[in-house]
Amino acid sequence: MQPLHQLPRIFPSLTMGKQLVQFAPDFSAYAGGVEETQFFYREIFQDHAYDVAELPEDAFIVDAGANVGMFTLYMKKKYPASTILAFEPAPETFKMLSENVKLHNLKDVELHECALGAEDTTQIFTFYPTVPGNSTLVPEEKEIVREVFSELSQDWADGAEKMYSTSHEISVRVRPLSHFLNGRKDLKRIDMLKVDVEGVELETLQALEEVHWARVSNVVVEICDLRGGRLDALESLLRSKGFSVRSESPSWSPSEGKMYMVIGHRDVTAG
């Protein structure tokens, strides 16, 4: 994985707008922020960041914060018989997610144009067209990121300016994850719950009903702790649900960035 101190080389320029990108000789996908999606491809397909547990062939997987679908595409390639629920609130990104599912002829992938959070509501969502995967319900977190970057070096400051200087606000639907899980006859277990929702990870998990927690065997959460206390709260929540927990700082993140991949595992009896 590319270290983030090489940010200017990762993102020498940032391209906006839908493009069909050849990521490997046998793999293409639609992307909005092309350079950002190339980074996600390396992280997921080459560095195997989400290979944290061996899942059953017919795994039930939740992709909270799907972006254009790199995680979903990877998991369906690895587990063709899996069922995946994928959530993406940004309309432009959701359209590309839908087209990537069609492009790769994926079956048993259920898409929802929706943000996940603590309650059923409508909220303002800040969309960054050059880095759509950073779009968020919590734009103040990105302002803190910009401040941290600016203190590291001029290259970091320039990189942050490229990433976050262009944005617009949209209204999106927000719903608790349990809303989509209630009443599902196929929900005997949740083999992996992947959460990367740009600032509302903790709230998303806190809202999950106990009946659904009881079915979860693996949780992988990408979280930024620049606001302080969120990593400890997330680890405490997972431990309170019976998970063994480990947290890792990705190689691309400087210590000042306080980015973590939090991995939780426990054994669950199906049904």
Report, in this order, helix, strand and coil percent for the chain, each rounded to 5. Answer: 35, 25, 40
Helix 139-152 and helix 154-164: axis angle, to 10°?
160
Class of domain 4-265: alpha beta
Residue 270 confidence (pLDDT): 52
Residue 10 confidence (pLDDT): 44
Distance (Å, whole) CA 1 – CA 5? 12
Q: What predicted TM-score, i.e. pTM, was given to this entire model?
A: 0.91
Tell me what the mean pLDDT of segment 158-168 comes to: 84
Q: What percent of the chain has pLDDT above 90?
A: 72
Residue 170 CB contacts under 8 Å (≥ 6 apart), including other chains: 90, 91, 124, 125, 127
Residue 163 confidence (pLDDT): 82
Residue 220 CB contacts under 8 Å (≥ 6 apart), including other chains: 50, 52, 192, 193, 194, 195, 261, 262, 263, 264
Q: Which of 93, 118, 111 is nearest to 30 (CA)?
A: 93
- Look at residue 217 and tell me whether its pLDDT is greater than 70: yes
